Amino acid sequence: MFQKLISFALSQRLLAIVLTVALVGLGLNAYLKLPVDAFPDISPTQVKIILKAPGMTPEEVESQVITPLEMELLGIPRQSMLRATAKYAIADLTIDFETGTDVYWARQQTSERLTNALSSLPDGVTGGLSPISTP
């Protein structure tokens, strides 16, 4: 099979040269259109929520603040991970979204769910979305 291909290429030199030049031209065109970024954005889209719950132990923060919030936030579309940490009087939640998700859309979705959930939290719990930052 290769012998037939080689003999055809040798007998049709002009066609072989034209196809080679076309292939090199297409490759060069693709190379020039290849996007290059010196510092590509490899961080995921994240939204952080930080709430203060004065006087609560980490166990109380987890059961009375984090659990109701997790139930509300788990329904957000394009969400890939939800992490929560309970500390003395502080609830720290981080939501990771799929690659390519617009950060403003993600914050809007999170803000709407957070507003719905804040009414069911104990009195004195304050806080909200943290500013946009990269991890």
Domain annotation covers residue 38: no
Domain that holds residue 68: 45-129
Torsion (CA) 51, 55, 58, 59 in degrees, nearest 10:
-120
Shared domain for 86 and 115, answered yes or no, is yes
The pTM for the full model equals: 0.68
With a cut of 90, say whether residue 28 has pLDDT above it. Answer: yes
Mean pLDDT over the full length of the chain: 91
pLDDT given for residue 39 in this prediction: 76
Residue 46 in 3-state DSSP?
Answer: strand
From the CA atom positions of the chain, what is the Rg in Å? Answer: 28
Q: Which of the pair, 101 or 38, is modelled with greater confidence?
A: 101
Shared domain for 22 and 63, answered yes or no, is no
Shared domain for 16 and 54, answered yes or no, is no
pLDDT given for residue 135 in this prediction: 63
CA–CA gap between residue 118 and residue 122 (Å, rounded): 8
Q: Which of 32-36, 47-51, 125-129 has the lowest mean pLDDT?
A: 32-36
CA–CA distances in Å: residue 9 to residues 6, 20, 114, 116, 130: 5, 11, 68, 71, 66
Domain annotation covers residue 135: no
Q: Please report which confidence band the pLDDT of residue 2 belongs to, taking 50, 70 and 90 as the band edges.
A: confident
Shared domain for 72 and 7, answered yes or no, is no
